[in-house]
Amino acid sequence: MSNASKLDQAIVRHSPSTGAQSPDVWGIYEPDTGSIQYICADPATGKAALIDVVLNFDPASFATGTRSMEQVLDVVKQHGLSVEWVLDTHPHADHAMASARLKDRTGAPNAIGEKVTEIAGLWRGIYNTPDAFDPARDFDHLFADGDVFKLGDLDMRVMLSPGHTLGSITYICGDAAFVHDTFMQPDSGTARADFPGGSAEDLWNSLQAILELPGETRLFVGHDYGADGRDRPEWESTVSDQKAHNIHVGGDADRAAFIATREQRDATLALPDRMLAVLQINLRGGRLPKAESDGAHYLKLPVDKF
């Protein structure tokens, strides 16, 4: 299948640079999990960061695949970009991350927030695997709150944004902020905060910190599951849009009311069908556990813990 025909099957949208120190951004929608994968690129140098790219995972068969990753790389090739970073915002609960495979394919370093080490410790206990998960081994960089690194001639800044997980981070590049599982589109509100280590109060604080960015800042969310009244996924808004229209935190939203609403809503939500499997991949930077004597890889699943 040609690159063009493969791209025709994906929903890909370009948010162009708005001027000096502003990146080009492409969003590539992954329909199985409602995830948005991003390419953030410096227009001057063509250097690109790949953010939250999906490794396909079938929850029925546990088969993995690279269809979504290949679609992202097709966009990179189509626009003559060069991958400088492979980034994730947090260890995802609903999809496997393509970080390790992208690092192997592109040679670019992979990175995530430093608090992934705390998340790994929490899940070692849940899985009863005290020797599992070594983020310092599986990621080239563990970013701290406030860290700044280069993407071509652009600066990218790391903001700690806990709530959905205790170690979620936002990447800010000029007038673009990749806000992952904090905000959703204004008509959908905000992300859940009930996973181990999550906190609705922390999420509120993270949302407010993002809303302190300039009003024209483009916000790129991690997921869209659709909303009543629109028939296609959306993933870009602005700080001003969210302040005015977000159904959970817009207008004169109240902290206590938000926390109560978020916790009540989260109590009704089922676990993502991939969660207990893919976290064992994501906490290894997108790698499968070491193959056993038969050459196959195996995951360990807790019974009755949730």
The structural domains of the chain, with segments of one domain joined by +, span: 3-282
What's the pLDDT score for residue 37? 98
Reduced to 3 states, what is the DSSP secondary structure of residue 172?
Answer: strand
d(CA 225, CA 211): 22
Q: Please give the model's pTM, rounded to 2 decimal places.
A: 0.95
- Assign domain 3-282 one CATH number from 3.60.15.10, 3.30.530.20, 3.40.50.300, 3.40.309.10: 3.60.15.10
d(CA 194, CA 93): 11
d(CA 49, CA 206): 23
What's the pLDDT score for residue 7? 44
What's the pLDDT score for residue 1? 39
What's the pLDDT score for residue 9? 53
What's the pLDDT score for residue 230? 83
Which DSSP letter does residue 183 get? B
User: What is the sign of the dihedral through the CA atoms of 260, 304, 59 and 285?
Assistant: positive
Tell me which residues of the chain have a pLDDT lower than 50.
1-8
